Structure 1
Amino acid sequence: MNKIPDTEQTSRYDHIEQMSTNEILTAINQEDATVALSVQKVIPQIEMFIQQALSRMQTGGRLFYIGSGTSGRLGVVDASECPPTFGVSDDVIIALIAGGDGAIRKAVEHAEDAETAAWSDLSAFHPTDKDVVLGIAASGTTPYVIGGVKAASEAGLLTGCIACSENSPLGEVVNCKIEVPVGPEFITGSTRMKSGTAQKMILNMISTTLMVKLGRIKGNKMVDMQLTNKKLHDRGVRMIVNASGLEADEAARLLDNHGSVRAAIDAVSK
């Protein structure tokens, strides 16, 4: 019999349906409070993956996330936030989800069981050995993800994973494994909860660190962000004011003329 993934451990709580609303909320919060500590323990593994991914991305490589269900959706969220936040093109970090974009909103039956589908999805992007593939699977057993990273490794790509189960089948087939067991979920097997939170935290750490190292942050500011709404335009004006000492009206004029916070600050600095 195959090893049962850590993510299938029985909840520490029982008769949940008999709990009061406050008891449910308190218990969920107590469980969530343990996630950051679990992630802290695997920082060395996260760092190792980032260092190896960075060396490839600095030479033009891309980072692909592949996942199914909640894991796939978390990858989509993280990848989609990078262009507006850091001003990179949408082909620097690319997320693929089993079942295609329709699976972002609705579950696609059996999509995660298609072992060859991820590499087929990746192949549309003409991957090269400069690229990186990060498989995301709470249980570490998802065939779509395992098949994808196996094929990617065979093609010379760097591969890594985020799993919430130790000694997972997924971890065995990647170059850099990040396995962060978070313990039983509040509702047994509901990996959208603590496992999903851990995956989101690690994805934040990976993409943010990569963008910093790729020069997309100045000081602590998103100077390359896309100015897609009034809130972000106003934020950009404040950044220029803080960096230059200009009045807000002049900073706004500079921002409108140059189209980016970085360009406006550079213009003042010359």
Structure 2
Amino acid sequence: MKYILSVEEIIMDKPKYALIVDDLISKIGNSLFLRGDKFYSEAEIKKLYNVSSTTAVKVLNELASRDIIVRIQGKGSFISKSDKNELVRLSNIERFPGEIVKVRVISITEDNDKNILKKLGLKSKETYFVFVRTREIKNIVTEAFISYIPSNLVKKDLISKKENFTSIYNRLREDFQINPYQLAYKEIDSIGYIEDPQILQLLHLNSRALLLIQKRTTTDKVHNREVEYITSFELPEYFKQQITREP
């Protein structure tokens, strides 16, 4: 006989500090606090919820770890100004509109590195293809791409001609009726110094350089599979982006 917990029992089983965290998040979500507003102090949480200092501190630490509040020594806690989980419209802006862009396929290889297999959700004996490409504007290499595509999404008879894969998305659309532009993806952008000789050589750089680094995984949720994992490295002066938010 199965025993199903009631809502009340689930709540009672939850730690006190976690219940307080949930309540405070609800208050923030209902606009009791706005971005940048000063948040409750440890003493205020103790009084408001009739708890110990230890519990109050645990609540504040939990909210800070979730990037909901920012704690500033000597000043108190404030609602984070981060737009984490906020719905925004992001648009890449061409720095040189109208200029001819050339994409070159440098190499195509098959591999099965365990780290990439994990990112693509593949098994240990499966493989993927690595496509190394560059992007040029006015004969200047502005960006280097490394795409990792599961082998079952690559027609091997086309590999002998690298130019067949100038646009991997067009290839996927023509060969497998997969349109990556319509699929879900997660992308992380950062700025960092790159010393990898392969990347520097692709960008015709002689020493370590500060580059825009983008890592993106594209997912076909209908068939529960990863379609592509890509890392790109771009010269910062060729990158421009606009972020807007509707009220």
Query: Which TM bucket (shorter chain)?
Result: under 0.3
Question: How does the TM-score come out when normalised to structure 1?
Answer: 0.19
Q: Which has the higher helix share?
A: 1
Q: Which has the higher strand share?
A: 2
Question: Which structure is richer in relative contact order (CA contacts within 8 A, separation 6 or more)?
Answer: 1
Larger Rg: 2
